Amino acid sequence: MGLICVTCGVQYASDDPGRCPICEDPRQYVPESGQAWTTLDKLRSGHSNAIRPEGELTGIATEPRFAIGQRALLVAHGESNVLWDCITLLDDETAAAIEARGGLRAIAISHPHYYSTMVEWAHRFDCPVHLHEADRRWAVREDEALSFWSGGTLDLRSQSHHARELRHQDAPLRDR
Ligand SMILES: [Zn+2]
Distance 80 CA to ligand 1 centre (A): 31
Convert the pLDDT of each residue in 129-164 to its tens digit: 999 999 999 999 999 999 999 988 888 776 544 444
Distance 12 CA to ligand 1 centre (A): 10
Convert the pLDDT of each residue in 59-77 to its tens digit: 999 999 999 999 999 999 8
pLDDT of res. 156: 78
Whether the Cβ atoms of residue 6 and residue 36 lie closer than 8 Å to each other: yes
- How far from each other are the two terminal CA atoms of the chain, in whole angstroms? 24
Whether the Cβ atoms of residue 127 and residue 145 lie closer than 8 Å to each other: yes
pLDDT of res. 35: 92
Q: Give the class (CATH, top level) of 48-174.
A: alpha beta
DSSP element (H, E) containing 131:
strand 129-132
User: For residue 53, is the peptide bond before it cis, meaning its omega torsion is within 30 degrees of 0?
Assistant: no
Distance 82 CA to ligand 1 centre (A): 25
Convert the pLDDT of each residue in 81-100 to its tens digit: 999 999 999 999 999 999 99
Distance 24 CA to ligand 1 centre (A): 7
Report the candidate in 110, 57, 66 with the shortest Cα–Cα distance to residue 88. 66
Sequence ranges of the domains in the chain: 48-174
Whether the Cβ atoms of residue 43 and residue 4 lie closer than 8 Å to each other: yes
Convert the pLDDT of each residue in 108-124 to its tens digit: 999 899 999 999 999 99
DSSP element (H, E) containing 49:
strand 48-54
pLDDT of res. 158: 65
Distance CA 37, CA 15 (A): 10
